[in-house]
């Protein structure tokens, strides 16, 4: 499965043997990466929504349609090149296959405020009878020319297109927005009447250009019609997730860092709220161990390429929480990745596990949390990270999807894994049964080795290459034929001096899970295909989605 001529998209993929996995499908079409600059060919951070009649709409960061630096370089903006970094696909058979629809904007952007830099997140109004029933919403971060605001889109189900509804839902107040998350209040009162916020759209995100150092988590929302977006600061932190309870109450969870220590925090949102003096802390492992075990920024485990790699040859992960709510009783379930212990000794192989917590709101801005439980049951010294969580509409089944290296002896290869728990009688330490969703694939990141330029350059992600690495876009990377450059001006130089700080950047900050009455669904960035020529091949990152029986 190597070489630019291979067309994996033409093959229906059934890679695994676990009977719970109905299908695994490529979400994007890898053959579309063979035009233009073939060094930019990765798809990751896939989000999706479940629609009517077995329809699934998925959006993902597509570097093939982007440019190096996501628009942050004057050379690109002065040449009138606008960044379109999000692609989308549609499935009409419940996720068993997808049609790649390419970029959100088929036309050229009219101004720099229409470009996007990926991180797409999606939600859908599921309130039958509501004026916005079935409406699908999409938020992305802005391209980096000015890095202003957040882009917001609505899906036109007739035209099968996304319509750009707002180039800046922050009303011009925010720059450097990152890592959005989205939710719709799909709950109504027990008597069938609407809450005051039923159908409202909520988007949380981090903004670094604020008075709160190291970034502040914001929440903005509107009524889903033509109302204004109302923005509120939630607290200092990053990597937020939104949970909406059956009574319509909204909570925002995130990671914050205090004196080189990471904590999971939350805040209950209400109209006109102000940041309280004391923001509640989630006891990540126990009331005696309130903080996360990880100490690096964003809770990164700094995972090595493999066990025998140098310490600086690692890629960033995070401890960003992901949440779901039981529609029956309002219990909040929160998953996150963290070190398996507070003390990480040099040479320790297992740097990350998946944990879940169950919480019940007991009063205003107060949640009673049960002891955290480890989800992965591998009992190996290998890494697990980037979880997402979903609950069945009945509230009886819980699913957690994540990355795992448990089937690799040297912690090198990765598989997408799933774990299902029956929570009819509560969540216990023995609730989860895990199983693989994919075949093995290697990591792909910018590269953190100290050699500059690094050896074997084709092994690295070329959208975010190592600092000061020069990428020869005329003759390819390391080896290769001439590459078409019609996306650049004719007089553009033969290389790009990136001069970026993403030395250990991995373009894969989240996975995505959802559920319907019969199946769980999970999307991840899969690197089981390769791209390259003449034996100089690197992993080819694509978005995949698994359909899983309860």
Dihedral of alpha carbons 481, 484, 488, 492, sign:
positive
pLDDT of residue 455: 63
> How far separated are the first and last CA of the chain, in Å rounded?
31
- Measured distance CA(83)–CA(47) in Å, rounded: 20
| pLDDT of res. 299 | 95
pLDDT at 362: 95
Q: Does residue 87 surpass a pLDDT of 60?
A: yes
Tens of pLDDT along 102-130?
Answer: 888 776 666 777 888 889 999 999 999 99
Residue 447 has pLDDT above 90, yes or no: no
SS (H, E, C) 232-291: EEEEECEEEEEEECCCCCEEEEEEEEECCEEEEEEEEECCCCCCCCCCCEECCCCCCCCC
Residue 462 is predicted with a pLDDT of 63
**Residues near 316 by Cβ (< 8 Å), separated by ≥ 6?**
298, 300, 302, 445, 504, 505, 506
pLDDT at 347 over 50: yes
pLDDT at 162 over 50: yes
More confident residue, 134 or 485: 134
Can you give the pLDDT at residue 441? 94
Element of type H or E holding 30: none
Per-residue pLDDT reduced to its tens digit, 501-525? 556 888 899 999 999 999 999 999 9
pLDDT value for 224: 85
Tell me which range, 32-41, 42-51, 220-229, 478-487, is most confidently predicted by mean pLDDT.
42-51
The count of residues in the chain is 550
Reported confidence tier of residue 32, pLDDT bands at 50, 70, 90 = confident
Q: How far apart are CA 323 and CA 266, in angstroms?
A: 11
Express as a percent the part of the chain with pLDDT over 70: 80
Average pLDDT over residues 36-59: 90
Which pLDDT score is estimated for 67? 66
Q: Using 50, 70 and 90 to split pLDDT, how confident is the model at 444? A: confident
Rounded distance between C-alpha atoms, residue 418 and residue 536, angstroms = 33
Q: Tell me what pLDDT residue 86 has.
A: 93
pLDDT of residue 488: 34
Q: What is the mean pLDDT of residues 341-351?
A: 75
pLDDT beyond 70 at 74: no
Choose the weakest-confidence range: 60-69, 478-487, 503-512. 478-487
Residues 75 and 63: their CA atoms lie apart, in Å, by: 18
Q: What is the pLDDT of residue 179?
A: 94
Beta bridge partners of 384: 404
- Is pLDDT above 60 for 306? yes
pLDDT confidence band for 420 (50 / 70 / 90): very high
What is the pLDDT averaged over residues 303-311?
89
Query: What pLDDT score was predicted for residue 133?
Result: 97
The Cα–Cα gap between 180 and 169 comes to 12
Of 60-74, 209-223, 476-490, the least confident: 476-490
**The pLDDT value given to residue 501:** 53
Query: b/e for 459-470, b at 16 or more Cβ within 10 A?
Result: bbbbbbbbeebe
Burial class (CB in 10 A: 0-12, 13-18, 19+), 311: exposed
The reported pLDDT for the residue numbered 23 is 95
What is the pLDDT, as a whole number, of residue 2?
A: 34
The pair of structure tokens assigned to 94 is 């419940």
**Residue labelled with tokens 């990466």:** 33
Percent of the chain with pLDDT over 90: 57
pLDDT 10s digits, 364-418:
889 999 999 999 999 899 999 999 999 999 999 999 999 999 999 899 999 999 9
Mean pLDDT of 64-79: 56
Q: Mean pLDDT across the chain, nearest whole number?
A: 84
Rounded to a whole number of angstroms, the CA Rg of the chain reads 22
Residue 387 Cα distances to 62, 279, 545, angstroms? 21, 24, 14
Q: Higher-confidence residue: 477 or 47?
A: 47
pLDDT class for 430, splitting at 50, 70, 90?
Answer: confident
Quote the CA–CA distance of 194 and 224 in Å, as a whole number. 14
Q: Provide the pLDDT for residue 76.
A: 42
Q: Left, alpha or beta for 347 (phi > 0: left; psi -120 to 50: alpha)?
A: left
C-alpha torsion sign, points 182, 386, 444, 301: positive
* pLDDT of the residue at 490: 34
4-17 average pLDDT score: 44
For residue 13, what pLDDT is reported? 46
167, 141 contact by CB (below 8 A)? no
**Helix (H/G/I), strand (E/B), else coil: 34:** helix
Burial of residue 19 (number of CB atoms within 10 Å: 0-12, 13-18, 19+): exposed
Is there a contact between 443 and 415 (Cβ–Cβ < 8 Å)? no
Residue 312 pLDDT: 81
């Amino acid at each position: 499965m190597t070489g630019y001529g291979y067309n994996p998209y033409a093959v229906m993929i059934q890679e695994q043997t676990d009977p719970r996995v109905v299908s695994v499908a490529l979400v994007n079409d890898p053959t579309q990466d063979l035009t233009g600059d073939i060094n930019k060919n990765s798809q990751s951070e896939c989000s999706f929504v479940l629609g009517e009649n077995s329809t699934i709409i998925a959006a993902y960061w597509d570097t093939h349609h982007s440019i190096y630096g996501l628009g942050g370089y004057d050379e690109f903006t002065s040449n009138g090149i606008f960044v379109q970094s999000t692609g989308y696909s549609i499935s009409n058979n419940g996720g068993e296959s997808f049609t790649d629809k390419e970029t959100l904007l088929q036309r050229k952007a009219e101004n720099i405020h229409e470009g996007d830099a990926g991180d797409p997140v999606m939600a859908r109004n599921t309130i039958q009878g509501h004026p916005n029933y079935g409406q699908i919403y999409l938020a992305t971060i802005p391209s980096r020319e000015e890095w202003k605001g957040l882009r917001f889109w609505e899906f036109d189900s007739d035209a099968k297109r996304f319509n750009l509804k707002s180039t800046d839902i922050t009303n011009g107040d925010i720059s450097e927005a990152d890592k959005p998350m989205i939710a719709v209040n799909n709950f109504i009162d027990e008597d069938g009447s609407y809450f005051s916020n039923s159908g409202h759209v909520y988007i949380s995100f981090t903004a670094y250009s604020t008075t709160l150092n190291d970034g502040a988590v914001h929440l903005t929302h509107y009524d889903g019609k033509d109302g204004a977006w109302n923005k509120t600061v939630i607290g200092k932190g990053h990597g937020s997730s939104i949970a909406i309870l059956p009574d319509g109450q909204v909570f925002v969870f995130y990671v914050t860092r205090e004196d080189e220590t990471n904590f999971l925090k939350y805040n209950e949102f209400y109209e006109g709220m102000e940041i309280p003096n004391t923001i509640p802390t989630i006891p990540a492992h126990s009331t005696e161990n309130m903080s996360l075990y990880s100490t690096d920024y964003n809770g990164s485990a700094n995972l090595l390429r493999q066990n025998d790699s140098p310490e600086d040859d690692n890629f960033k992960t995070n401890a960003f929480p992901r949440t779901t709510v039981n529609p029956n009783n309002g219990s909040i379930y929160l998953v996150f990745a963290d070190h398996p212990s507070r003390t990480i000794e040099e040479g320790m192989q297992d740097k990350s596990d998946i944990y879940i917590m169950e919480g019940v709101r007991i009063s205003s801005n107060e949640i009673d949390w049960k002891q955290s439980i480890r989800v992965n049951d591998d009992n190996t010294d290998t890494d697990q990270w980037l979880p997402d969580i979903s609950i069945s509409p009945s509230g009886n089944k819980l699913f957690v999807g994540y990355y795992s290296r448990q089937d690799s002896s040297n912690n090198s290869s990765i598989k997408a894994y799933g774990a299902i728990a029956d929570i009819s009688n509560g969540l216990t330490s023995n609730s989860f049964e895990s199983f693989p969703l994919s075949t093995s694939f290697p990591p792909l990141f910018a590269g953190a080795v100290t050699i500059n330029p690094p050896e074997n350059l084709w092994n690295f992600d070329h959208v975010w290459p190592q600092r000061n690495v020069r990428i020869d876009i005329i003759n390819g990377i390391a080896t290769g034929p001439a590459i078409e450059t019609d996306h650049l001006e004719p007089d553009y130089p033969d290389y790009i001096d990136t001069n970026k700080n993403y030395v250990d950047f991995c373009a894969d900050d989240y996975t995505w899970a959802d559920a319907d009455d019969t199946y769980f669904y999970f999307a991840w960035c899969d690197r089981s295909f390769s791209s390259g020529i003449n034996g100089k091949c690197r992993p080819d990152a694509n978005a995949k989605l698994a359909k899983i029986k309860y």
